Structure 1
Amino acid sequence: MSTPLIELDAIRKAYGGGDAPEVEVLHGVSLTIHAGEFVAIVGSSGSGKSTLMHLLGCLDRPTSGQYRFCGVDVAGLDADELAWLRREAFGFVFQGYHLIATESARENVEVPAIYAGMPAAEREARATALLSRLGLSARHDYRPNQLSGGQQQRVSIARALMNGGRIILADEPTGALDSQSGIEVMALLDELAAAGHTLILITHDRAVAARARRVIEVRDGRVVADSGPDASRADGSDSGWLEQMADGSRTRAATLAGDMREACRAAWRVMWINRFRTALTLLGIVIGVASVIVMLAVGQGSKQRVLEQLSAFGANNIYLGPNGDSARQNGGRVTLEDAAAIRTVPNVALVMPYLEGQVVIRYGNLDYRAEGGGVSSEFPQALNWKTARGMFFSAEDERTMAKVVVIGERVRDALFKDDDPLGRRVLLDKVPFQVIGVLASKGAQSGDSDEDNRVVLPFSTASSRLYGNPYPSWLTIGLADGAKLQETEAAIDALMLERHRQRDFRMFNAASRIAAQAATSDTLSLLLALIAAVSLLVGGIGVMNIMLMTVRERTREIGIRMATGARQRDILRQFLTEAVLVSLVGGLAGVLIGLLVGGVLVLFGLPLIFSVTAMVGAFACALLTGLVFGYMPARQAARLDPVVALAGE
């Protein structure tokens, strides 16, 4: 017996300190246990035997003293190395069974192998074989609440054997069982001891302790009796493994892909079992994502419609009208002579005067009020406004002051309904005109037909026979090259100042209006997105609250996973995966609902433009929300002390 498997030297364990009084549970315990021994540690309640088991199984650390495992000082191992030791060396059989409630019997047995990196098919086959060996071949898919106490304890034993069960620590394995189940469990432990496993049995029952080959009695935190090492054990039966342990060798570890797959499976199982609570948690994420998508689509749609309306009248036009800083000299007027002078400015392609005013149109016994406009024959080119039917008047009509008129869609609908208006005679403020064309609809782009509620006629005819005013209300100036808009506008401004000697005119261009409107729409879209993002933030807080509650509810499960070899990063990954999976499902549902709501709004005529970037961004934000708000609860779970977690409810 060269190197003991377990060697304790003057181990002390105290709890409390600081604000709470310190209580010492173990008082200088020293003992050695060799591979292959069947040891019973017996003592009454409160004697410290369970604390001793936790120290032996590396679930807890001593306050002082030295614990050597295969000659290696356990105090020098970090949290992950202790987890590896628990996974590879120990198998725990607890009095309260400590099975994960959401997992089946087979899945509970597989847990240690998951953290050991055993392939799924291999661990499933091994778990099935162990359960069958323990008489549970028909109970593989049963959950713990569907099994009797004895059956649950057998599942616990199978789990302890999953990674080999070199050392089995059994804490009151028959304490919660009826007598028959207790007899069966002890028979199983006897078989394991005979097969060469190292068994350390913690019990207060001396009859149970008598089944062991070595009995150590603990009283008031001290070893008061020890029957001595079992001389019949097979010395060196586990020497190969002892050498691996002494050399610090490591067995295979779980792959990242395997870890993530298992974490997703377990997370989905928990979400499904608690689906009502999960749905409530998802609600905030769903509303947030859907709101972002719909709000941005509405903003982009409205922006696009406004820009289309503005550009429909000439994106490269300059508009010039009276009423600048002073309107006293020249009456603040823009004249046809100004228009003729502006035509000589480089890059000016056309100049169209527009004389506007209200008119009453009569056809038959129907009167209708509309916007009237005296324009030149360049109207279709200047405002990009063609005729849908008929023709537009010519320069000759303008020169001869012809009494012809082109009407808008709303005027046609109001006066002629289904009749053909072309060639018909109408009265404009009691002056007869002939309808020669119908303008293409402009107002239909926004659902507002005001732009179509107009008639246009030759400028000369309007100024002399209708309005009695020779001065244009404004000029539309079309450019040959839109890229030179700014310099052309400056040249026109200089020309008008030279002609008028003062700034009694005002000028603006469609491009600046479009840019201003685009900026306004972008600001509105940003505001809408921020409002929607608040919903996403609220959803993230909901995820964090639910995950904190989940950690509290599943504290014992965390302890079980740690006892079976889970590292801190395994626990962190498990709970972070759950948070991200909630956000993932919420994000997908939010995208679908956002598209559905958007489709309904489109049916009601609201302009929407869905952006793939917005959808991807909202979905990514949902995932990021789960990651950020799920990290703190996951970190809290990962940093739990195994012993404290196992004692949790």
Structure 2
Amino acid sequence: MTPLIELAGIRKRYPGGEQDVEVLHGIDLRIDAGEFVAIMGSSGSGKSTLMHILGCLDRASDGQYRFAGRDVSELDHQELAWLRREMFGFVFQSYHLIGTASAWENVALPAIYAGLSREERRERARHLLTDLGLGERLDHRPNQLSGGQQQRVSIARALMNGGRVILADEPTGALDSASGEAVMAQLQSLADQGHTVIVITHDAEVAAHADRVVELHDGDILSDTRRRPSRATPEAAPETLSPPRESALPEFGEVAEAVVMALRSLRANWLRTLLTLLGIVIGVGAVVVMLAIGQGAKEDVVARIGDMGTDLLVIRPDRGQRRVSDGVIATLVPADAEALREVPNVRLAVPEISGSVTARSQGRDITTSVKAVSSDYPALRDWQAVNGIFFSQQDQDRYAPVAVIGQTVRENLFGDADPLGQFVLLDSIPFQVIGVMGEQGATNWGDDQDDVVFVPLSTGTLRLFGQNYLRSITLAVNDVENIDATEQAAVELLTQRHGTEDVRVFNMASLLDMVSDTQNTLTMLLGSIAAISLLVGGIGVMNIMLVSVTERIHEIGIRMATGARQRNILQQFLTEAVVVSALGGLIGVALGVAVGLLLRLIGLPILFSAPVAVAAFLCAAVIGLVFGFAPALKAARLNPVEALSNE
């Protein structure tokens, strides 16, 4: 028959300073399927090392180990995990149960990595535990079970995926005599059912239950005694081992199970989880709030500039030109405005002279500003009279002494009286009030736009200002897309008329773009500052995950012994990092929105953006993925034997 297990010249050495320490010295051993074998020896004889090699938890330094005809040294990590999962079941002296999991969850652990659904795992675990007398203890945790009960849970776990080979390492070492006898009776029953049972022990009474006793001494086989006839039959001979090729990518069920295990682990260490969340919450919340503040400020400024008109070109005299009285620069004249109306794409050309005057009426006098403009001014600024009318081109042509006043002037001079038809003295020159402008409010820099009196340009130049030079000409264009070309054409026209380039042009569309770009830069600066705190939170995640891996090395060893692949371990810890970061991201987004709403209540311009919130959450998850990878990889690369020995 092809032996189930065949060892030839197996040696095992461990680094020992200047010279390696050899624990096994060329072991030759054959075990057939269905045998009940006890490997007995005193402490230090190498029996546990031999069991680790038999169970594919460790590799031999030299020699050949064939399982079901296949050389184990040819198997990679994934295939060895399959072998531990599908062929072996381990029963340890110290039980090696996961303390945060219930009895049935500990039993079902190997089936997780075999791909069984949660319902199937629970039902099989219930059946196994019931058969072992623990049907009433399914939901008890290890610290709620006696030593004998924990060992029976360990046996049930060994049988979860079939347990073709049961490897029991000192299964009665931590039990009282009655519990020990019960455990050995169960192992005897498994042997009777056809399982290959290998017991590692130092106790001759335990070894007496086996059909065959192999005694080790100082790394060599001292004797190999058969006490009862072999149970092996030709029918029990194994088929040649052929582990299936598995995908390196996780299946959906594995991911879902990893999330469940991650939540359980995070709940078990809730205080540490809370502290880890704090860094991510602050980082994500800061990003959401900072970008909302920046975006709100940008929209507020853009809206204010938009109110002024983004289709405008404001032409002013160059400050370096000749000046006349009152500091007026002798450059622009009303005829320039008439000429600019003929420039293609120009819809309106409104000349303006402004200054400060003393206004008197009804026995009251105030200091206000006066603007001498053309009749197109209301259309230019989208600012209409709410009482009366604005003066017309006819009033302009006949130098009419009429005025249209702002709301502030009306309140200060006339109070509740009707100002229409009344006269107001502007620097002792009488003007009849024919209209009152609608309320406009303050400018971005705090000036009261309603504290103004409008008069026809012709009347103002002749009777108020005594000169014909303009302070500005404002052009409104039809097509904002071509505003730059219109600006160039206007400058060329005025240069031709004046014989020199003596004006400056303020392009409101360009100003809007410039302010928008500036605000975007400031927003990015705010976001970058906030992102630093998110980065610090990611470093905290990595630190906590490294601590978690260090604390749970023993658990990792248990999972590997029950068949977890390297990718399963990597996936589990990576999932924990992503889950804690994503949870922190959700809380951070909610916190950021709450803080933003509070800031909005106190008057700050806040504008939330769904893409920003989603991006902040995704960044948190990605940070968990990036910063959790190194700790997860460290966990996945642990040696199963070293991990199991770490209590």
Output the TM-score relative to the length of structure 1.
0.92
Distance 2:460 2:479 in 1: 31
Contact 1:332 1:505 in 2 (8 A): no
Contact 2:321 2:329 in 1 (8 A): no
Change in Cα spacing, 1:322 to 1:14, as seen in structure 2 (3 Å) is: same
| Correspondence list, 1:465-614, <5 A | 465-614=463-612
SS at match of 1:609: coil
| Partner residue, 2:311 | 316
Cα deviations across residues 284-311 of structure 1 (Å, max 9, x unaligned)?
2222222222222222222222222222
Of the three residues 37, 42, 47, the one matched with 1:49 is 47
In structure 2, stretches of 5+ residues that fail to align are none
Residue identity opposite 2:454 in structure 1: V
Matched residue, 2:9: 10
Q: How big is the shift at 1:407? A: 4.1
Structure 1 residues 575-632: Cα deviation after superposition (integer angstroms, max 9, x where no partner): 1111111122122222222222222222223223322222222222222111111111
Deviation at 1:13, TM superposition (A): 0.5
8 A contact 1:40–1:212 mirrored in 2: yes
* One-letter code aligned to 1:633: P
Q: 1:6·1:33 contact (CA, 8 Å) conserved in 2?
A: yes
Of 252, 259, 268, 2:254 maps to 259
Listed one character per residue, the Cα deviations across residues 485-543 of structure 1 (whole Å, up to 9, x for unaligned) are 22222222122112222222211211111111111112112212222221221121111
Distance across 2 between alignment mates of 1:278 and 1:423? 77
Aligned residue identity for 1:12: R
Q: In structure 2, how many angstroms separate the alpha carbons of the residues matched to 1:254 and 1:300?
A: 41
Match of 2:196 in 1: 198
Aligned: 1:58 with 2:56:
yes
Aligned match of 1:629? 627
Find the residue that maps to 1:227 and give its secondary structure. Answer: strand
Q: Distance in 1 between matches of 2:361 and 2:156?
A: 98
Q: Deviations over 1:56-99 (max 9, x none)?
A: 10000000011111111101111011000000111111111111
Distance, in Å, in 2 between the alignment partners of 1:131 and 1:499 is 103
What is residue 271 of structure 2 aligned with on the other side? 276
Q: Secondary structure at the match of 2:303?
A: helix
Helix, strand or coil at the partner of 2:63: strand
Residues 367, 253 of structure 1: alpha-carbon distance in 2 compared, 3 angstrom cutoff: same
Q: What SS does the corresponding residue of 2:350 show, helix, strand or coil?
A: strand
Kept after mapping to 2: 8 A contact 1:196/1:237? no
CA distance in 2, matches of 1:148, 1:179: 14
Query: How far apart in 2 are the matches of 1:522 and 1:636?
Result: 41
Alpha-carbon shift at residue 226 of structure 1 (Å):
1.5
User: Residue in 2 aligned with 1:288?
Assistant: 283
1:418-433 → structure 2 map (5 Å cutoff): 428-429=426-427, 433=431
Distance 1:4 1:326 in 2: 109
Residues 60-69 or 325-334, more deviating: 325-334
The equivalent residue for 2:215 is 217
Note if contact 1:345-1:491 (Cα within 8 Å) is conserved in structure 2. Answer: yes
Q: SS state of the match for residue 50, structure 2?
A: helix
Alpha-carbon separation, structure 2, partners of 1:423 and 1:328: 37
d(CA) in 2 for partners of 1:149, 1:370: 96
Cα RMSD, aligned residues only: 2.8
CA contact (8 A) 2:79 2:243 kept: no
Q: Which moved more, 1:260-269 or 1:44-53?
A: 44-53
Post-superposition shift, 1:448?
Answer: 5.1
Deviation at 1:435, TM superposition (A): 5.0
Aligned length: 644
- Identity percentage of aligned residues: 55
Q: Deviations over 1:102-157 (max 9, x none)?
A: 21111111110111112222221000111111121121112222222222111111
More divergent stretch after superposition (296-305 vs 50-59): 296-305
Contact 1:110 1:124 in 2 (8 A): yes
- In the alignment, residue 292 of structure 2 is paired with which amino acid? A
Structure 2: distance between partners of 1:422 and 1:211 = 119
Q: Do the aligned partners of residues 444 and 185 (structure 1) sit closer, same or farther apart at CA in structure 2, a change above 3 Å counting? A: farther
**How far apart, in 2, do the equivalents of 1:369 and 1:310 lie?**
28
Give the secondary-structure state (helix, strand or coil) at the position aligned to 2:15: strand
1 CA distance for matches of 2:535 and 2:572? 23
474-483 or 394-403, which deviates more: 394-403
* Equivalent residues of 2:383, 2:437 under 8 A apart: yes
Report the CA distance shift for 1:450/1:185 in structure 2 as closer, same or farther (over 3 A): farther
Q: Distance in 2 between matches of 1:449 and 1:474?
A: 18
Find the counterpart in structure 2 of residue 177 from structure 1: 175
Residue of structure 1 equivalent to 2:640: 642
Q: Please tell me the residue identity of whatever aligns with 2:294.
A: G
Pair 1:250–1:341, CA change in 2 (3 A): closer
Q: Quick one: structure 1 residues 213 and 340, their matched pair in 2 at CA, closer, same or farther if it must change by over 3 Å? A: same
Q: Which runs of 5 or more structure 1 residues have no equivalent in the other structure?
A: none
Residue 224 of structure 2 aligns with which residue? Answer: 226
- Structure 2 CA distance for partners of 1:131 and 1:233, relative to 1, 3 Å: same
